[in-house]
């Protein structure tokens, strides 16, 4: 029947409930542009992110406190409550605390209250302003801290996104080209994983995704980007990785960045227990889910 044919074209994203957070703050343009792109693609999204820039706060947590000085970019007035929302769009929420506390509040309270008690099915964080490549940044990043909390404690599969362009803009400024390109690339990774079916990721596994710098003359169009499967740290002393691109050692994120071979998206498969790269067995479970978008380094 015609109607059945039509139904098969309903985007897979339609029913997927997403909790979105970051560490740059709820009013940062990158995360708002991603919110809009996800919303247009049919995802049900709730944003729950810090009031201010909380970069580098890793997995810290603290009880939210009243916002005496107002939110970043004057996105809420002085003396606002410890948690709050945009009165014209209650899907947009702030929490005056660390990234982990903000995503935790969104997962346990805010999102279920908006979804008739239902829990998020996927946690997305970022795109972070500035890359999160390598073991040290992975441990320090609040954007990764929030994704790892979702995976390890809340048992919700998570992807942490970060972009090399350090362009900070308010939610109500025109979206910088980098924010738009990063949001579209992040949507592509998200939709590829969602289309691969549930479980989206193995237990205790998350993805760390980094985007190359966007400039006025280079990497300003999503079609120029190649998606590369990577490692977070070198793994020099570790067992082999999954066999891919003719090798059993995946390139590190930094090696891809330093290769300057083009416009790249690095995708590392993370272990929620220590923010390092997962073993080859779990890499092998995730690889088929992403294969359709992956390329090998030249």
Which residues here bind ligand NAG, judged by CB under 6 A?
Answer: 24, 27, 53, 55-56, 75, 86, 88-89, 92, 129, 168, 171-172, 177, 188, 216-217, 220, 222, 227, 293
Element (H, E) at 131: none
Q: Please, are residues 241 and 278 in contact by the beta-carbon 8 Å criterion?
A: no
Cβ neighbors of 292 (< 8 A, separation 6 or more) are 192
CB nearer to ligand NAG: give 8 or 88. 88
CB nearer to ligand NAG: give 138 or 156. 138
Pairing state of beta strands 158-163 and 205-211?
parallel
CB nearer to ligand NAG: give 152 or 182. 182
CB nearer to ligand NAG: give 105 or 276. 105
CB of 279 to ligand NAG, least distance (A): 26
Q: Which of 99, 47, 57, 53 is nearest to 72 (CA)?
A: 53
User: Which residue carries 């998020």 as its tokens?
Assistant: 120
Give the burial class of 106: count Cβ atoms within 10 A of its Cβ; 0-12 exposed, 13-18 middle, 19 or more buried: buried
CB nearer to ligand NAG: give 154 or 170. 170
CB nearer to ligand NAG: give 70 or 235. 70
CB of 72 to ligand NAG, least distance (A): 8
CB nearer to ligand NAG: give 63 or 216. 216
CB of 274 to ligand NAG, least distance (A): 24
Cα 173 from Cα 165, distance rounded (Å): 17
CB of 73 to ligand NAG, least distance (A): 8
Upper half-sphere CA count for residue 243 (Cβ side, 13 Å): 1
Cα 298 from Cα 264, distance rounded (Å): 12
CB nearer to ligand NAG: give 43 or 171. 171
Q: Which of 150, 78, 144, 145 is nearest to 108 (CA)?
A: 150
CB of 165 to ligand NAG, least distance (A): 11
User: Which residue carries 């279920």 as its tokens?
Assistant: 112
Q: Please, are residues 130 and 173 in contact by the beta-carbon 8 Å criterion?
A: no
3-state helix, strand, coil in the chain (%, to 5): 35, 25, 40
Q: Please, are residues 13 and 186 in contact by the beta-carbon 8 Å criterion?
A: no
CB of 58 to ligand NAG, least distance (A): 12
CB of 16 to ligand NAG, least distance (A): 15
State CA 138 to chain mean position distance.
13
CB of 240 to ligand NAG, least distance (A): 26
């Amino acid at each position: 029947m015609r109607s059945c044919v039509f139904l098969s074209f309903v985007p897979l994203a339609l029913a997927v409930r997403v909790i979105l957070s970051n560490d740059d703050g709820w009013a940062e343009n990158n995360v708002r542009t991603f919110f809009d792109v996800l919303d247009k693609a049919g995802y049900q999204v709730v944003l729950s992110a810090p009031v201010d820039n909380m970069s580098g706060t890793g997995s810290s947590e603290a009880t939210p406190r009243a916002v005496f000085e107002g939110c970043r970019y004057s996105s809420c007035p002085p003396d606002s409550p410890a948690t709050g929302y945009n009165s014209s769009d209650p899907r947009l929420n702030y929490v005056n605390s660390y990234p982990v506390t903000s995503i935790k509040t969104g997962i346990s309270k805010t999102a279920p209250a908006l979804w008739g008690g239902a829990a998020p099915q996927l946690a997305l964080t970022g795109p972070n302003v500035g890359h999160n490549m390598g073991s040290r940044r992975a441990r320090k990043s609040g954007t990764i801290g929030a994704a790892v909390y979702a995976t390890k404690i809340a048992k919700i599969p998570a992807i942490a996104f970060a972009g090399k362009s350090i362009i900070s803009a308010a939610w109500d400024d025109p979206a910088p080209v980098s924010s738009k390109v990063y949001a579209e690339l992040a949507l592509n990774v998200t939709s590829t994983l969602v289309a691969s079916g549930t479980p989206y990721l193995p237990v205790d596994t998350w993805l760390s995704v980094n985007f190359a710098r966007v400039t006025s003359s280079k990497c300003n169009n999503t079609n120029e980007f190649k998606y590369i499967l990577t490692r977070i740290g070198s793994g020099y002393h570790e067992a082999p990785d999954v066999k891919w691109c003719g090798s059993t050692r995946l390139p590190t994120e930094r090696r891809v960045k330093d290769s300057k071979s083009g416009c790249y998206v690095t995708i590392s498969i993370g272990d929620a227990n220590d923010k390092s790269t997962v073993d080859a067995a779990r890499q092998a479970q995730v690889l088929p889910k992403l294969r359709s978008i992956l390329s090998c380094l030249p």
